[in-house]
Every structure is written in C-alpha cells, then in structure tokens.
Amino acid sequence: MSNPVFFTPAGSLDGVGPGSVFVLDGPEARHAVTVKRLTAGEAVDLADGAGARLTGTVAEVGQGTLSVTATEVTYEGQPATRLVLVQALAKGDRDELAIETATELGIDAVIPWQSERSIVRWKADRAAKAHAKWQSVVTAAAKQARRSWIPVVRPLMDSAALAKAVAGADMAVILHEDAKNPLRSVLEDSPVLKGAEPDTPREVMLIVGPEGGISPREVTRLSDAGAVTALLGHHVLRSSTAGPAAVVLASDVLGRW
C-alpha cells in the first residue's frame, strides 16, 4: 500500500536529502497528527505539489507539527504533453465533480469556463471564493491520488478569452456530440502531436460544455480560433463525466499511462 501524502509549499523540499529531518507544520501537519493520528516510525510521503517528493518515516509528533526523517527525495517531471481541462461552470457541483475526478486521473491544469449556456455564474466577490474552492478541490484530489503535482486552476475565462487561449494553444479539442471524428483518431492523427519531438513541451486543451451543451456560436468561434471537434463515445455524457473520460482516453493515446 502506498504511503499517505501530505503537501508542503512548493520549493520547500529544495536542498533536503536522505537523512535530513523535515518539519511539517500548518494545516497539513495538524491533519496528519489529529486526523490520521500518525505515530513515530510510520512511513509517509511529503510532496511540494511541484514535482518534489520526500519519502521517509515519522521521527516525532509534536503539537501541530510532524518531523519526518527522509530516506529518499525524488523529483517527478511533468509529461511532455500536458492535458488541460476547460470545464464549463455547471449546476449541482457537477463542475467540481469533473475537476476532482480529472485530477485523480492525471489532468495537469484546469480552466473554469463561463460559457453562454452555463447556469452557474461567478460574479464579483463570488468569483474569488469559487476559484479558491476549485483549487481546494483539485488539491484534495491530488492528495487522494498520491500525486506529486497539484494541478493549477487558471483564471476564469469567458468565451472571448477562451477563443484567444485556443488561438495560442498547441492543440484544442471541443468534445461535442455532433462531431464526426472520434477523440482517439483526432489525437492520433494530429500533426501537432505527431510532428513534435518526444520531449517538446506542449499542451492539449480538452473543452467540455455545460449541461445544455456548447452553443453553435461558441463552437464556430472556437473552431475559427483553431479548435477541432471530437466525438467521445456513442452516448451523450454529463458535464461531470465527459472531461474525466477524455482524460483517460487521451492519457492512453499519448502514452501517459
């Protein structure tokens, strides 16, 4: 069974090596001590959310602190092809379910999208709170999945901003029930992915609409900016399901799994 993972700030593991004692504090330490009730001698992993991971054993449990003796410190690089989920805001927390599951499955970044047909709206002070909640959701999911990287939740975009992001992306795919080509063939036949050097960093945006679907005007606008449409299976999936399903298929096609 894998070790439990607790997160520490990015860069905090720099310079830490085998034999070093690292002291974890803050909310993560309190969770380890009061909820998980870790004791001296237990194995544990500490990750900085940016690829660094310390594997070690609990040396001492303090009042809201956890001292860990490192046995190994490793760094996990990001995949050459990064997957970015563009998730339209959806009602009933379906958008949060989508990003949570996609994080467990390996998404690298998330973009909240205020689409035309989104019933949910992030306005004024609610936008900052909602964005923070999304970041909290993906952080908790990354912890559950024992990941070394925490996906970044990028700023909220409306359709105009998304079109600009699509125009500058390496590849953008609109998951749409009326598409002619399946996602697998779209990815396998992509000249962007086929022609790139194996280690060349690139991003693939997977765009998922809200419950009512992406409007024809948005499909046209995003397609004009360079996005391609792709069919994800023979059935119509919920907004909460489409993104994670696409992550699974893309991860297989791109050799990430």
pLDDT score, position 94: 93
The residue to which tokens 């046209």 are assigned = 220
Q: Cα 28–33–34 angle (5° rounding)?
A: 100
- CA distances 139 to 20, 132, 153, Å, are 26, 10, 10
Q: Which of 167, 137, 156, 135 is nearest to 87 (CA)?
A: 156
Per residue in 170-228, pLDDT (tens digit) is: 999 999 988 999 999 999 999 888 766 767 889 999 999 998 889 999 999 999 999 99
Domains and CATH numbers, the chain: 5-75 (2.40.240.20), 81-253 (3.40.1280.10)
Q: Is the distance from CB of 104 to CB of 145 less than 8 angstroms?
A: yes
Q: Helix, strand or coil for residue 82?
A: strand
- CA distances 171 to 147, 166, 233, 241, 246, Å, are 25, 7, 20, 21, 14
Q: Which of 113, 106, 103, 101 is nearest to 175 (CA)?
A: 113
Question: One-letter amino acid identity for 29?
Answer: A
Per residue in 124-179, pLDDT (tens digit) is: 788 899 999 999 999 999 999 999 999 999 999 999 999 999 999 999 999 998 89
Distance of alpha carbon 49 from alpha carbon 47, whole angstroms = 6
Question: How would residue 20 be classed by pLDDT, with cut points 50, 70 and 90?
Answer: very high
- CA distances 176 to 136, 227, 236, 247, Å, are 29, 12, 9, 15
Phi, psi values for residue 125, rounded to 5°: -65, -25
pLDDT score, position 76: 94
With a cut of 80, say whether residue 25 has pLDDT above it: yes
Distance of alpha carbon 170 from alpha carbon 218, whole angstroms = 19
CA 157 to chain centre: 17
